[in-house]
Structure 1
Amino acid sequence: MTATVPARNAGLGSWPARRAAMSPGSNALIFRGTAITYAGLFDRVTRLAARLRSGGVGPGDRVAYLGPNHPAFVETMFATHLLGGIFVPLNVRLAAPEVDYMLRHSGTVALVHAPAGAFSVRPGTVVEVGGAYEEWLAAGEPEPLDVAVGMDDPALILYTSGTTGRPKGAVLTHANVFWNCYNLLVGVDVASDEMTLIGAPLFHVAALNQCLLPTFLKGGCSVLMPSWDVDEALELIPRHGITWMFGVAAMFAGLAQSPRWPGADLSSVRSVMSGGAAVPESLILAYQERGLTFCQGYGMTETAPGATFLEARESRTHVGSAGLPVFFAGVRCVRPDLTGAPPGEPGEVLVRGPNVTPGYWNDAEATRDAFTADGWFRSGDLARVDAAGHLYVVDRLKDMYISGGENVYPAEVESVIFEHPAVSEVAVVGVPDPAWGEVGRAFVVAMPGAALDGDELRAFLLPRLAKYKIPVHVDVVPALPRTGSGKVRKGDLRRLPGEQEAGHGRGEGGP
């Protein structure tokens, strides 16, 4: 059918029609060897939106997707936005109780999920990806839809693990996403012939807003991997002529450590981009030695996510830096009194700009605490800035650690460990790990007379937490070090020698 651009929809929901009108025969997505053109995607999104609308989805309603990377993720997102709804991408690695909380908290009314998705809360409309989804979508009306959507309307609710034990739903408006794409396109020369490999999960903001959507905006093609696999990536790169890819440090380390790396055909790759955690200088140099441009940036879900970026022209001269503030945003490093930290002195990173979240879903207190009185978003991260303005992330004010590109908040993990009847006290910290960057180390005090060991505790946590959140190391200790006011001295725990009980691998194929 002919693509008709919605006249009243100024948001992301209009993008499939706009792209289908401009480049209908170009490939938008490739998944497991099957291509979907922009015209084909527009038709599928339109039909899916009609089915969602017949199920009661309207402006402002929340539609969730639970599953790995798949064209259904992209279709559900755009169909939701075509109806003026709010898309809620959920982390497929989470345990059912975690997913259930997010479904309830967001008030999700429709859910599209992969067969392996774990949940028990059932919204009004639930569709499983596969044959049922295809039949359901095909029965949708192909007539174009035009629902009024403004740039300041919420587009996404992205859940971030909460430091108080409960996840927070960061709201991103259509404008937030648009401005982030503009910032990305200023820093990266994304082309209309781009072949973008997306192996990082789309339910995270970086793969979605830093790769898929900018590629879509330019009319390029995104090659979706269900999950990250080094050997598959090394096969897809020459097969599809991959030109650009994003990953966290663990993904790029896996490629560089593969025995196939020295002879891998990377001739089509123009640049790679990393974020989510600091990248070791040796890893950056390994890619530069292969003639690849290695760019990296700094950001967070709440900034959609780009806050700073190190452009290609500076990737060799400022190795290890997270770059300069993106074009349409301001970034400052401040002391505890919010006065500016001078060059070289670590300070908390503050961000302000049109890409910054308006706040958290149904959480006025968290929203209020996240901003300074004059409207700067408080990241909770420490960084130093050099004399030229380049940012170097050095630490986190919060206790969060990053494992394989996934944010882990100890308070959330601790709250679940406390549910074990033999646990009296617990503190969780992140410790270095050669494969994942950081993993959890739990210090547990047992109840009087109770027996407790690491294997049994991890088995208890397995159905309650995502695997990457389960501590790899468990130390059963007689007491936790505390300050005079009773707070656990986590700095002391991090400095203890690594004589932890032997841990087990997380059982995942990568970040």
Structure 2
Amino acid sequence: MDTAREETLADLWHAQVGRRGDHPFLVAEDATGAVRTYGYRQFDALVASAAAAMRRLGVGPGDAVVLHLPLGAELVRHLLAVMASGAVAVVQDPGSPAPECAHVAQRVRARLAVCTPEAAGRYAGVPGLRVVGPADAAAPVGSGAGASPGAGVTGHDTAGVVFTSGSTATPKGVVLTHANLVFSGRFVQWQATLGPEDRLLTTMPACHVNFQLNALLPVIAAGATLVVVERYSARRFWHQVQAHRATVVQSIAMIVRTQLCRPVEPGERDHHVREVLYYLPLPDAEKQEYERRFGVRLLNSYGTSECLVGAITDPPAGERRWPSIGRVGPGYEARVAGPDGRALPPGEPGEIQLRGEPGVSLMAGYLDDPESTAAAYDADGWMRTGDLGYVDADGWYYFLDRRSRIIKRGAENVSPARVEAVLLEHPGVAQAAVVGVPDPVYDQAVLAVVVPRPGVALTEADVRAHCAARLPAPAVPGTVQVADRLPRTASYKVATGTLSARAAAGSAGSARSART
């Protein structure tokens, strides 16, 4: 992984096109079940034509391009075209509402947005932005216009920006370099022991590092085959895993739990899966039942968008100590630190911290936010994750909880502060608090407690409709409660722990349900 500092995505991609030729690179199954397969050389021609078209549309090195497309061949094609040509890719969640789309495009100063017809209107009025469909962002294949894409691009240049929810109302943009992409690809290739004949299947959202850095890039690094399924379906998922002969599968708690809820079917253990890439713990009983029923094993790991991959991970071979999240992987150092910033001894709980090389094994920084970038590290270069855990005497790490308030809903991270900010935009809401509550399928659900303005009668339907027009679907509160007041701590902060405890106990306290 040492050469990652100098290589670019274009270097990695073109090397594999030369080596792999007609070997399948991408298998794409859309929401209707239609499947298309593309070889490396065939897909390279599609990427080159898209890169050429973008240049004709005025996109140059360093320009940001928003991609608002469903997970599939067109999304992967344009993502590779943007990054390999030296521009900056910003993948948007297909379900993002208009205010968020416009905000992201303005934050990155996007020059071009490649969208589905249904999404194009969400970018109306963004200054300096040209909006086109995927067909308009591609030249005729074989035109020759795509010669020498990526010329002059270095490993230090920015390749993409991924927005991640944090403890503030405004999501931070994690800046990814080409060196980040190459490092991530090679790290997960090592982690999952990916070889040229492997077939990695994913349903992860393309706007996150789970897809870009932990699925797409490792497949390219290994010269393997990527299988993308546009939409996760509990009923169809395991049949798709079997039909596509997947050898490696990405999974999260929501997928495990929805699969376990399905009736047992004959032949479930008849598959080619040798590794399930998993993120963070699961109750022992569910983990054991899943592995027994489907005849698989989970490779557990821990990471954040800022550290790109599962920096702490089960090793690819040998011992695993569930529920441990693993040991520190190549390219990183890890420790558990106390409030004073000093390393703690084995068994002592504290903050999990990571150290690596910014721009290679760690993000280059937060977009246009040097203060937050500096605050993410201590004076010795240790990255503060905000997550609690401990390490045992043999170097195995254990995750305990998230210090931040982030709500983990399936594959999505939801910022309570962001949801609260939207709630307070409602003309009838005087105060608002948002917490995560246990959900049997998605890990957590979003609960909002609101205090109305005097004389205003709020309904759950009204508040949820307000949020649905301004937030991605996973962030829309599943339950809204109306309260006379919010509980406060001695320092006058909202006592979110009290709200969570009331919800867990099935009591709203002073809150009254706004369900209609």
Provide TM-score, normalisation by structure 1. 0.91
* RMSD of aligned residue pairs (Cα, Å): 2.2
Residue range with higher mean Cα deviation, 175-184 or 49-58: 175-184
Q: Is the 8 A contact 1:384 1:393 kept in 2?
A: yes
Determine the C-alpha separation between the residues in 2 that align with 1:503 and 1:392: 39
Q: Is the 8 A contact 1:69 1:201 kept in 2?
A: yes
- Is 1:443 aligned to residue 445 of structure 2? no
Matches within 5 A, 1:452-471: 452-471=458-477
Determine the C-alpha separation between the residues in 2 that align with 1:349 and 1:114: 41
- Is 1:154 aligned to residue 150 of structure 2? no
Determine the C-alpha separation between the residues in 2 that align with 1:186 and 1:319: 20
Q: CA deviation at 1:278?
A: 3.3
What one-letter code is carried by the residue in structure 2 that aligns with 1:245? V
- Change in Cα spacing, 1:262 to 1:271, as seen in structure 2 (3 Å) is farther
- Change in Cα spacing, 1:445 to 1:262, as seen in structure 2 (3 Å) is farther
Q: CA deviation at 1:241?
A: 1.1
Partner of 1:434: 440
- Is 1:258 aligned to residue 262 of structure 2? yes
Runs of at least 5 residues in structure 2 that lack an aligned partner in the other structure: 1-5, 30-34
- Is 1:415 aligned to residue 417 of structure 2? no
Partner of 1:210: 214
Partner of 1:74: 76
What one-letter code is carried by the residue in structure 1 that aligns with 2:351? E
Q: CA deviation at 1:493?
A: 1.4
Partner of 1:291: 295
Deviations along 1:268-309, one digit per CA (max 9) or x if unpaired, are 11111112x532222321232133121121101111132211
Q: Is the 8 A contact 1:57 1:83 kept in 2?
A: no
- Is 1:475 aligned to residue 478 of structure 2? no
- Is 1:333 aligned to residue 336 of structure 2? yes
Q: Is the 8 A contact 2:53 2:138 kept in 1?
A: no
Q: CA deviation at 1:120?
A: 3.0
Partner of 1:198: 202
- Is 1:347 aligned to residue 360 of structure 2? no
Q: Is the 8 A contact 2:158 2:177 kept in 1?
A: yes
Determine the C-alpha separation between the residues in 2 that align with 1:138 and 1:22: 20
Partner of 2:506: 498
- Is 1:19 aligned to residue 19 of structure 2? no
Determine the C-alpha separation between the residues in 2 that align with 1:487 and 1:137: 59
- Change in Cα spacing, 1:121 to 1:88, as seen in structure 2 (3 Å) is farther
What one-letter code is carried by the residue in structure 1 that aligns with 2:457? A
What one-letter code is carried by the residue in structure 1 that aligns with 2:132? V
Residue range with higher mean Cα deviation, 445-454 or 116-125: 116-125
What one-letter code is carried by the residue in structure 1 that aligns with 2:7? A
- Is 1:320 aligned to residue 317 of structure 2? no
Q: CA deviation at 1:312?
A: 4.9
Q: Is the 8 A contact 1:67 1:116 kept in 2?
A: no
What one-letter code is carried by the residue in structure 1 that aligns with 2:57? G
Determine the C-alpha separation between the residues in 2 that align with 1:76 and 1:169: 20
Deviations along 1:324-374, one digit per CA (max 9) or x if unpaired, are 111110111111111112222221121111311121111112112111122
Determine the C-alpha separation between the residues in 1 that align with 2:420 and 2:52: 43
Determine the C-alpha separation between the residues in 2 that align with 1:248 and 1:140: 42
Q: Is the 8 A contact 2:10 2:150 kept in 1?
A: no
- Is 1:29 aligned to residue 26 of structure 2? yes
Determine the C-alpha separation between the residues in 1 that align with 2:309 and 2:194: 17
Determine the C-alpha separation between the residues in 2 that align with 1:164 and 1:238: 41
Q: Counterpart of 2:179 in 1: which secondary structure? A: helix
Partner of 2:51: 49
Partner of 1:185: 189
- Is 1:243 aligned to residue 247 of structure 2? yes
Matches within 5 A, 1:479-490: 479-490=485-496
Q: CA deviation at 1:235?
A: 2.6
- Change in Cα spacing, 1:174 to 1:305, as seen in structure 2 (3 Å) is same
Partner of 2:3: none
Q: Counterpart of 1:230 in 2: which secondary structure? A: coil
Q: CA deviation at 1:419?
A: 0.7
Q: CA deviation at 1:260?
A: 4.6
Determine the C-alpha separation between the residues in 2 that align with 1:121 and 1:184: 40
What one-letter code is carried by the residue in structure 1 that aligns with 2:303? G
Runs of at least 5 residues in structure 1 that lack an aligned partner in the other structure: 1-8, 505-511
Q: Counterpart of 2:123 in 1: which secondary structure? A: coil
Determine the C-alpha separation between the residues in 2 that align with 1:125 and 1:449: 45
- Change in Cα spacing, 1:81 to 1:347, as seen in structure 2 (3 Å) is same
Determine the C-alpha separation between the residues in 2 that align with 1:490 and 1:314: 42
Q: Is the 8 A contact 1:11 1:81 kept in 2?
A: no
- Change in Cα spacing, 1:143 to 1:349, as seen in structure 2 (3 Å) is same
Deviations along 1:388-414, one digit per CA (max 9) or x if unpaired, are 222221111211110012101100000
Determine the C-alpha separation between the residues in 2 that align with 1:321 and 1:94: 35
Q: CA deviation at 1:185?
A: 2.4
Deviations along 1:425-460, one digit per CA (max 9) or x if unpaired, are 111110101121101111211112211122221112
Which of 112, 119, 132 pairs up with 1:127?
Answer: 132
Q: Counterpart of 2:389 in 1: which secondary structure? A: strand
Provide TM-score, normalisation by structure 2. 0.90
- Change in Cα spacing, 1:136 to 1:443, as seen in structure 2 (3 Å) is farther
Matches within 5 A, 1:379-394: 379-394=385-400
Q: How many equivalent pairs are there?
A: 493
Partner of 1:219: 223
Determine the C-alpha separation between the residues in 1 that align with 2:371 and 2:192: 36
- Change in Cα spacing, 1:314 to 1:119, as seen in structure 2 (3 Å) is farther
Quick one: percent identity of the two aligned structures?
A: 30
